[in-house]
Every structure is written in C-alpha cells, then in structure tokens.
Amino acid sequence: MTDATLHVFRGDKTGGDLRTYQVPVTEGMVVLDAIHYIQQHEDSTLACRWNCKAAKCGSCSAEVNGKPRLMCKTRLDQFMGSPVTVRPLAAFPLIKDLVTDVSWNYRVNQEIPPFTPARDDTGPWRMYPEDVDRMFEFRRCIECFLCQDVCHVLREHDGTSRYYGPRFMVRIAGLEMHPKDTVSRAHLLRGRGGIGFCNITKCCEEVCPEEIHITDNAIIPLKERVADEYFDPWRALLRAFRGRREPRGT
C-alpha cells in the first residue's frame, strides 16, 4: 500500500494555508475517501461538505489540482503518485476549510419565475417525446455549482451582481423550452440574468460532472431567444402584426 500526499486548504474567511497529509491509498480510492481518512485519523476538525458519495448530490465540490471537480468522483490513481492539492471553490465566500457559502445560488434561483402553465390548462397533460427530450439533459443537473465556480464572469469579474451563471441558464432553458410553460424570461435574461456577460468560452461544459452541454444546448439557444426579442427587427414586426404568442409553437 502506497501513500498519497495531499495538500489540503485549512482556514476560514480571515485566511488560511495548505497543510500536507499522507494518506494510504487503497484500490478505487477517491479524493473524498482521502479527506475522510484525514478526518478520521489525522485531524477531525477538517471541515468538508458531502452527502451521497455517488456523484449525485453535488455536495463535495472542490478544486482538485486547480480544477473544479466532485471529490467523490475524482480517483486518486489518476494523479499517478503526484501530490494532490484540494482547495474550496474560489467563486464563493469561504466558511471553513473546504466548505463555502453557496447560498447566493439559492437566492438567484428564487428570482427565476417558476414553471407557469396556462390558467385554464389544468391537465392531465399528454406529453410527446419530441417536446420534452431536450429537457431531460437539463434535468440531470445536480447543482454542484462547479460550473458557477469555473465561470470567469463570476470568478474573475465579481459577476454575481450582473450574471446568474451557467447553472441558472440551464434552469431557465429547461423552463423556457417547456411546451406548457407560458412565461417569457427573455427580459430577465437580458437584464438581471445578464446572459450578455457570458462570452461562451465553454469552461462550464468542461467541468460539468453530468456532461451537460451547458453552452451549446442551454446558453446559446437562450441567447438566440434574446436575439429574437431584442435584436431582430423582422421578428419584432411580425410580433407587432400577429401579437405575442406563448408558448412558442402553439
């Protein structure tokens, strides 16, 4: 049994540094296992958020060797004996050690108008596969916020007051493309949602553990819908004559 060297961030909002731990490696071990080993055998005060250990709850997000990852899905053997550095998500305020305050995301979520069917359309609804298959991908999101962490608008440009971030572009896309939803969120996207701040550099796609095509399938289609509303005089003319109709396609 060999040992892995882990440099783990220890500290709180007042400051901190990396501390080094030696952890015996077993077959199939992931970074979260190593963190648990440290908690159990070396330092029980190490703070870390986790829940399912199956890459489905999105709790154990951290920056492993500088890349946002789920600790429970990151095997130690991929680093081939090199030291592994584990830091908290840098885009969010630090609470302690590897735990950050991600509550901003939940406040953003509340700003998004929820699914709103027509008042007189009470169901039961018959849903066709072609109408909902786009949304299955968006429903895979586990809210790990790795995409929010890697988004350079939020991370490098203090964008939390200007841009909702990739996670909520995915949520809005799922609502906007729903065949029974009647609310347009184009105004929200262009304003408070700040979709114009996204310059589609696709870092969010690179870190998504659910492999959601965040940019291609959510953000860009939303940008095109905003262009429909605000940058397309031809469509504006059509709307003026034919009246606004929601949802699209009915």
| Binding region for other proteins (CB under 8 A) | 7, 9, 11, 15-20, 63, 65-68, 85, 87-88, 90, 94, 128, 130-131, 150, 152-153, 156-157, 163, 176-179, 181, 194, 196-203, 206-207, 213, 216, 220-221, 223-228, 230-232, 247-250
φ, ψ for residue 172 (rounded to 5)? -65, -40
Using a 10 angstrom Cβ sphere, with 0-12 exposed, 13-18 middle and 19 or more buried, the burial of residue 102 is: buried
Nearest CB to other proteins, comparing residues 15 and 28: 15
Nearest CB to other proteins, comparing residues 53 and 228: 228
8 A C-beta contact, residue 182 and residue 246: yes
Nearest CB to other proteins, comparing residues 56 and 73: 73
Nearest CB to other proteins, comparing residues 200 and 236: 200
Q: Distance between CA atoms of 94 and 51, rounded to whole angstroms?
A: 19
No. of helices (H) and no. of strands (E), the chain: 10, 7
Identity of the amino acid at 2:
T
The least distance separating other proteins from the CB of residue 39, rounded to whole angstroms, comes to 20
Collapsing DSSP states into helix, strand and coil, what is residue 31? Answer: helix
The least distance separating other proteins from the CB of residue 111, rounded to whole angstroms, comes to 19
The least distance separating other proteins from the CB of residue 16, rounded to whole angstroms, comes to 6
The residue with tokens 């990739």 is 166
The least distance separating other proteins from the CB of residue 184, rounded to whole angstroms, comes to 10
